[in-house]
Amino acid sequence: MTESRRRPGRPRDTSIDERALAATRELLVGRGFEATTIQAVAEHSGVHASAIYRRWPSRIELIEEATFPGLSPLGVRPTGDLRADVRRFIRAYLAAFNAPAARAAAAGLLAYHQASRRPRPPELDLRVSARPQFEEILRAAPPGSVDPAVDPDDVFDMLLGAVLARTLLLNVTTRQRPVDRTVEMVLRLLRPLGTGAATTPDA
Amino acid sequence: MTESRRRPGRPRDTSIDERALAATRELLVGRGFEATTIQAVAEHSGVHASAIYRRWPSRIELIEEATFPGLSPLGVRPTGDLRADVRRFIRAYLAAFNAPAARAAAAGLLAYHQASRRPRPPELDLRVSARPQFEEILRAAPPGSVDPAVDPDDVFDMLLGAVLARTLLLNVTTRQRPVDRTVEMVLRLLRPLGTGAATTPDA
């Protein structure tokens, strides 16, 4: 079905894509996940429903592309300052998950994927696409500041969980700890044995 | 509204509570979050809808009590073996979140709380109730095995995020890393500066 989106000899009108995606984000924020149907997107964007279905098999794929488009929001270039790079990376991740349309869509998409057991949650895309950037940050760090024995995947999973907990759980509570606490926890996970190099003075 | 549940001089029939709660769990697993309405619970349990409303203001509170009842599922007594205690704690947490009814309810409850911005997500209850147990585990650990400078709340937040990521995200993917990876990450967060005491040999 997705193959039809790349049919040769049929140039894709990207402005139609953009209009549908923008309308999807507006509907998510304005009316919520359930109301963001293909028909509503068609009416809101002026793009015919048939043209939308030609591009996305269902509203789920449309909403995912509109809210979690993958790599681009996390374009964090490593500077070699591990603490600063990790902080910017976490902030970029949080910003992607906290964008109004993403927040409006996240729980609905999770509910859909939990019910359907389809193997591709939107967060997974963001995760797979962001992991190489995280590894770049580690490679750019000064020698000796990252324990070579630690598996970057393990640290990345902890980081992802912290971002998820912040965006899914803590948004609806009054208790929100500073992002720098999470930065320090990630640095603690990375620091080599027997050194205090990557730690913070405050407790 | 909840006050009416503890009205003096009106003994509460706990068997009615239990029947409604059990029916709620069965409906969540069998028919899903949306179909688990007060009316459906009444029909499935044989408890009148009016009696259910007398106990729970809405289906949300009923579902929360049926799926995340708080402290009891996490009754982990510390033994003083930090790695073993952390492992049992994480497993108990995962088991509570992974119970069929909890899994069927989690995304729906999150969607509800994100939309309503009410200040009490079900996971928060579980979190607040579980944190003292986590601190007990740290207190029972051998002297020198837990960095006194690390804030247990920070570590607990990372642990909660990892549990959440495993239950919400990884259930719907094929990639599921062993729980022991998370255990080792938590031990890494806890270990004192300048020691390798709480680390694992494998990378």
Residue range B125-150, pLDDT digits in tens: 556 667 788 899 999 999 999 999 99
Distance from CA of B45 to the nearest CA of A (A): 24
Interface mutation vs chain A, best among B168, B182, B190, most A CBs within 10 Å: B168
Residue A108: pLDDT band (50, 70, 90) is confident
A157 contacts B182? CB cut-off 8 A? yes
Residues in chain A: 203
Chain A within 8 Å of B103 (Cβ-Cβ)? yes
pLDDT (0 to 100) of residue A128: 65
Whether this model's ipTM surpasses 0.85 comes out as: no
* Average pLDDT score, chain A: 80
pLDDT on residue B9? 52
Give the domains, in start order, of chain B with CATH numbers. 2-67 (1.10.357.10), 72-190 (1.10.357.10)
- Give the contacts of B102 (CB within 8 A, at least 6 positions apart): B67, B68, B96
pLDDT digits (tens, 9 = 90+) for B162-193: 888 887 765 445 456 788 999 999 999 999 97
Structure tokens at A140: 């750019």
Structure-token pair, residue B154: 């920070």
Average pLDDT score over residue span A6-17:
65
For residue B129, give the H/E element and its range.
Answer: helix B122-140
Lowest mean pLDDT among A22-36, B93-107, B124-138: B124-138
List own/partner pairs for A131-139 with CB under 8 A and 24 or more apart.
A131/A156, A133/A71, A133/A74, A133/A75, A133/A76, A133/A89, A134/A89, A134/A159, A136/A78, A137/A76, A137/A78, A137/A82, A137/A85, A137/A86, A137/A89, A138/A82, A138/A190, A139/A78
Section B67-94 average pLDDT: 80
Residue B141 is classified by DSSP as S
Judge whether A53 and A61 are in contact, CB under 8 Å: no
Mean pLDDT of A74-95: 87
Query: What are A117-141's pLDDT values in tens digits?
Result: 665 555 555 566 677 888 999 999 9
Q: Which residues contact A189 (CB under 8 A, 6 or more apart)?
A: A150, A154, A155, A158, B185, B188, B189
Nearest of A102, A198, A105 to residue A146 by alpha carbon: A198
In this predicted model, what pLDDT tens digit does every residue of B6-19 receive, in sequence order? 445 555 667 899 99
Angle at A40 between CA A37 and CA A43, to 5 degrees: 150
pLDDT band at B195 (very low <50, low <70, confident <90, very high): low
CB atoms B154 and A184 under 8 Å = yes
pLDDT of A159 strictly over 60: yes
Taking contacts as CB-CB distances below 8 angstroms, the residues of chain B near A120 are 172-173
Residue in A120, A123, A177 closest to B157 by CB: A177
Query: Of chain A residues 5-44, which have a CB less than 8 A from chain B?
Result: 32-33
